Amino acid sequence: MIQRIAVLTSGGDAPGMNAAIRSVVRCGVAKGWKTFGVRNGFQGLINGTMEPLGTREVGGIMHRGGTVLGSARCDEFKTIEGRELAIRNLNQRGIDALVVIGGNGSQAGANALYEMGFPVVGIASTIDNDLVGSDITIGVDTALNIALEAIDRLKVTASSHQRAFIVEVMGRNCGYIALMSGLAGGAEAITLPEVETDPEQLAKELHKAYEQGKAHAIIVAAEGAEYNASRLTEYFAENRERLGFSIRSTTLGHVQRGGAPGAYDRILASRLGHGAVEAIDREEFGVLVGLNGNNIITTPYKMIAGKVKTLDPKVIELTQILD
């Protein structure tokens, strides 16, 4: 019978992680369990830095960005000896199950613990939205809105000076944020890791827009695309006279994931936290808790291991029609 659970956050921080922590703790307490927070992700399991968390300890954190538990890289956890030490520390504190909030790398670590026999449940949280097992992950909506606000602001100054702006957004090797923020922001072009970009054709399209009297142009570039902001800026610098527009580039960087979570991410995180506690109560371990349609679902780790979610080709086609 479950009596004690622990929760940790791992990998890149995402807006809404704190709401997920709060939900796990309060839903666990509602079942009469003792709940513990692990400091600094898997490194905290190695170091044994765990502390009791009750309803009061997680009060007032829902609206905060980042993660109050912290996150850190841990090379030692990648070794068998490191994971054995982590499990030993969990067992010494009487922890019956662990909740891991994070993205692909974090859930791979969680699965490694599960395969060694420790009960683990994951919660889908990454602004990249590349995690199989959830339509959308914690942090994505907030990151998209931050990127969209930046695009809208840059469009104003671009129009004032008849410029083309290249806006680079995060996402590692997944172009979801670039695709969706470019679609919502009315970008003239979007570069993605998943789609080959012809810079020569892009230059022709920008020149055509300039000849037609357009006051600005916005290009949204995914950081993992072959032609990200730096590559495009370099290419266009050699072909500036053919563009019409002068070129400026802006890299949004970590500002996209550092903001306070919006309403959607707070609600999603709360629902996924509750789903994780319910999975533990059913003794359903080795699963990722995510969203499918409007339903909270669980997906076995063995079904998501080594997989990355792909972009919807229909949405890619739509952006090509609308740009």
**Is 10 in contact with 41 (CB distance < 8 Å)?**
yes
Supply 253's token pair.
Answer: 């960087």
State the Cα–Cα distance between residues 93 and 214, nearest whole angstrom.
65
Query: How far is 277 from 119, CA to CA, in rounded Å?
Result: 12
Across 299-313, b (16+ Cβ under 10 Å) vs e yields: bebeebeeeebebee
Instruction: Please confirm, yes or no, whether 323 is among the known catalytic residues.
Output: no
Classify each residue of 254-269 as buried b or exposed e, where b means 16 or more C-beta atoms within 10 Å of its C-beta.
Answer: eebbebebbebbbebb
Calculate Rg over the CA atoms of the chain: 22
d(CA 45, CA 78): 12
E strand or H helix at 190 = strand 189-191
The CA-based diameter of the chain, rounded to the nearest angstrom, is 72
- DSSP state for residue 244 in the 8-state scheme: S
| H, E, C per residue of 95-111 | CCEEEEEECHHHHHHHH
Catalytic residue, from 13, 128, 130, 141: name it.
128
CA-CA distance, 55 to 22, in Å (whole number)?
A: 8
Phi-psi region of 267 (alpha: psi -120 to 50; beta: other; left: phi over 0): alpha
Closest CA to 60 of 25, 14, 12, 11: 25
Query: Which residues are known to be catalytic?
Result: 128
